[in-house]
Amino acid sequence: MLDTVKEIIHDHVYCRKQLFQLAKSDLIKTYRGAAFGWAWAVIKPAVTIFVFWFAFSIGLRHGKPIEGYPFFLWLIAGFVPWFFMRDSITDGAGSVRKYKYLVQRIKYPVDTIPTFVCMSDLFVNICLYAVVIVIYMLFGFKPTIYYLQIPLFYLMAFVFFMLWGLFSSMLAAVSKDFLNLVRATVTALFWLSGIVYNVDNIQSHTIKTVLRFNPVTIIANGFRNSMVYHKWFWETPEEMRNYLIMTAIMFVLAIWSYKKLNKEIPDVL
């Protein structure tokens, strides 16, 4: 396993310049042919945010203020990072199939493909979260010192879902059924994560404990701690511990899948 880890690190260091170039290329390729280009990556989530604002602020008028913040602001603080996590789950799983020509024609290191795809999704979401901060300011809430830890939670999300991409893309490359399964379960994962509700309000202790190990919930809570609850990451040691446990598990799975399937990928594709 140690040799596999060294190989993956070497590939990422050796291809570090290409990673940024390919991430940019992936973003352009996704929205090529559209009049607004990559701006659609921000426009589509922005429309969803507007719908939620209309539903909870004007239509349903549901949701009490939380820590003095309107429910809508609490919602988008964790909802917007979900766009990145959702895209990383599906795009990461399908990344090797999408860029199979890199493996077949130029023998590009397959382990770096999920990385630049995840980077592409990350760039878009960072821009979108800047919009969230502007919305907070329009509602009269100025940035606080707790915003400084937002990059940390982006880093946490990137590391976990980069590992997920390596794990899942290997399996999806040899089995399209696995890729279809991943795409089919994303909606279920959304509702089983603390995106539109507070996990702490769940009555069942067992269910609450299980959901607290969900990386999606942990990362969404981290953003809300920065934007709404005004807590530093060290004030929630249980969440940080659970994140490290889940990331370690995903690391082992990623290394295992790469070591097991790496040599088979070119032939299968």
Res. 5 pLDDT band, cuts 50 70 90: confident
The percent of residues above 90 in pLDDT, for the chain, comes to 44
Res. 182 pLDDT band, cuts 50 70 90: very high
pLDDT at 129: 92
- pLDDT of residue 194 exceeding 80, the answer is yes
Token pair 């199939």 is found at 97
Token pair 């719908």 is found at 51
pLDDT at 39: 64
- pLDDT of residue 71 exceeding 80, the answer is yes
Please list, residue by residue across 161-184, b when 16 or more beta carbons sit within 10 angstroms of its beta carbon and e when fewer do.
bbbbbbbbbbbbbbeeebbeebee
pLDDT at 171: 92
- pLDDT of residue 33 exceeding 60, the answer is no
Q: Taking residues 89-115, what's their average pLDDT?
A: 85
Contact 159, 122 (CB under 8 A): no
CA-CA distances (angstroms) from residue 245 to 123, 178, 199, 255? 26, 24, 19, 16
pLDDT at 1: 73
pLDDT at 61: 52
Q: Taking residues 12-18, what's their average pLDDT?
A: 83
Residue scoring higher pLDDT (97 or 108): 97
pLDDT at 219: 96
pLDDT at 241: 95
Residue scoring higher pLDDT (164 or 15): 164
Measured CA to CA, the distance from residue 44 to residue 233 in angstroms comes to 30
- pLDDT of residue 144 exceeding 90, the answer is yes
pLDDT at 31: 64
**Report field, pTM of the whole predicted structure over 0.75:** yes
Which range among 1-5, 19-23, 55-59, 160-164 shows the weakest confidence by mean pLDDT? 55-59
